[in-house]
Amino acid sequence: MKILVPVDGSDNAFRAIDLACRLAGEGNEMLLLNVVGRGELPEELKRYARVENIEGPPAWQYEQLIASELIGRAVERLRGRGFENIDTFVRTGDPAKTIIAVARETGTELIVMGSRGLGALKGLAFGSVSQKVSHSAPCQVVTVS
């Protein structure tokens, strides 16, 4: 069975990894996914950089870098719990749609994810990504808080 854990760096997402490990039996494949945005800088900052002749790596490269660091830590966590059958994905796009698309592509049977993520809004039980995925996923979804 394939278990997909979408991670955004939040504590809940790391707890989702731990629960996935406890739910998984031997021979299960763990899939880790981080969805990055388009990495666009704010227009004002782009203009400033142009005027001041500042050249840096494009913002999307930072995002990719952080994403691979994050995925690396998630992999370590899985390995630390004895899992070796791990596949990783860093994709660009809308988080919920991309999580659902990867679940479909891979034939994922279970998604384990945080109920909330890095979004700061307190008081709501579910974030927008976990809500959308729970509604439209092609498989069972377990949310962790």
Note the residues at the interface with ligand ATP (CB under 6 A).
6-8, 10, 12-13, 16, 33-35, 95, 113-114, 116-119, 121, 127-130
DSSP secondary structure code for residue 83 in this structure: -
DSSP string, 88-128: EEEEES-HHHHHHHHHHHHT-SEEEEESS-S----S-SS-H
Q: Are 145 and 12 in contact (CB under 8 A)?
A: yes
User: What distance in Å separates the CA atoms of residue 33 and residue 37, rounded to the nearest whole number?
Assistant: 13
CA atoms within 13 A on the CB side of 27: 1
- Determine the size of the site formed for Mg ion (CB under 5 A): 3
The residue at minimum Cβ distance from ligand ATP is 127
Binding map of Mg ion across residues 69-108, x = CB under 5 A, - = no contact: ----------------------------------------
**In the complex, what is the shortest distance from the CB of residue 116 to ligand ATP, in angstroms, rounded to a whole number?**
4
6 touches Mg ion (CB under 5 A) = no
Distance of closest approach, residue 130 Cβ to Mg ion, in angstroms: 8
**CA angle, residues 69, 6, 123, in degrees to nearest 5:** 105
Least Cβ distance, residue 80 to ligand ATP (angstroms): 19
Q: Exactly one of 83, 110, 117, 133 binds Mg ion (CB under 5 A); which one?
A: 117
Nearer to ligand ATP among residue 24 and residue 117 (C-beta):
117
Q: Minimal distance in Å, beta carbon 49 to ligand ATP? A: 25
Phi, psi (deg, nearest 5) at residue 17: -60, -45
Positions in the binding site for Mg ion (CB under 5 A):
117, 119, 127
